Chains A and B, each alone.
Chain A
Amino acid sequence: MTAPAVAVSEPRHWRRRLSQAAPYILLAPGILWLVYFFVWPAVQMFLMSISSGTLDSGFRVTGSTTAYADALGKFQVQFGNSLLYGGTATILDFLIGFPVAYTVAFRGGRYKNLLLFLVIAPFFTSFLIRTISWKILLGDEGPLFGFLKNDLHILSTDFTVVGTPVSVIAGLTYNFLPFMILPLYVALEKIDPRLVEAANDLYAGRWEAFRRVTLPLAMPGVFAGSLLTFIPALGDYINAELLGSPKTRMIGNVIQARFLQQNDYPLAAALSFLLMAAILVAVIFYARALGTERLTG
């Protein structure tokens, strides 16, 4: 009597198991990806940061904290520069990017796609080439300052921008602008214009409607855009390398130099870890401040 019952329940049982496992199976590629390309390297990096030794003799995990002490003790200036330049560039990107995204989203009409393409078009060129071009554009005798100096005589001849924080921030702002514009655009584009009309009907002026309707609804875009800009800008070293001077070095330059020139892997790993930790803390505070849980639902 029991035999047929078993025969029926076995596949059912199996199917239920499968349906329970389905989410995990579907997630598996992503999880494996993260484990292999994020968790594993992060663990390796952490172990390296508490190692000592040399490249030739090999590094051994000794639990030494010298690297962290060095990293915290000697590079405050570079950490400070990173925060200052990355932060300023993010704010500038927001100030430039918001009007652009707003215009494309609400006034773009049938040119929306074309305008978006124009935002991205310069970025088909290599990051490096674009940054080197800034060196020429901002050059002392470049098209802008050369003209202001030699033809209009507005600037004194020893005026210079390349090598100062201004040019580093300009480079960062330019290079990461699309990362601000695109998320902002996506957020703004989703806003139903009738909500703004409704606000107007309820006696909200243009500014009031913007402040109380458009901006709050765009917050997920602001959040995403500022993170996508700030995080890479914080760790960037190309701009500071090409457009800066020894005085404008960012923490990325130190990590690069310690990894590739001095071969001091433990210190470089410790610096990378501290940078990651700092970013994580900053993001948590930022998310709290903006109340993103509510925004992203």
Chain B
Amino acid sequence: MTMENAASALSLRNLSGSIVLLALAILLAAGLVFGVLHYADQARQSLRQAQTQQSESRGRLARAQEDEQEIRAKIDRYQDVIARGRTQPERRLDWVETLRGIKEKRRLISMDYEIAPQRPLDPKNVASGGYSFLVSPMKLDMLLLHENDLLGLLADLSTQVPALVSVRQCAIERLPAVAQQQAALLRAQCELDWITLQEKV
């Protein structure tokens, strides 16, 4: 009986404690290894990010002289935009009066216009540096004696209104002889945009 016990001592039951301990040790070892590998991987990733930041900042600093000149020039441009009143709210009454004044000054034969409601110029996803570009489309129909009347009108508009006047399209055609009773030789139909900037809230 005793010998049988000694002979059968090497059994899975007697080894279960040691096997559990071994399994725990292996699990712990694997956990340690995977944990430290994960941590090391994160550290390497952080190092890459930090090195990228360092490289970018070094490059930006190296370009600082150039940037400084560029930004100074852009500040001048910005201040010019502000000075021209491009960022002022649209003043349709002023525009209408300006148009009337130009018509009288240039003695234009006929001038009809239609200003549509204001809307954003760009889709929402276009970056525009903290400002929205707003556009008020205008249709212009004129009878002209000479094409310079049109060009003069556009030049006057550009200098007399704070908004940026951008001509999208123009059709100028010679009028048939029968239509020249009012001395008009040409007819111009144009589409213009009155563009203003509005700071985003």
- A, B: real partners: no
Which residues of A line the B interface, CB within 8 A?
none
Which residues of B line the A interface, CB within 8 A?
none
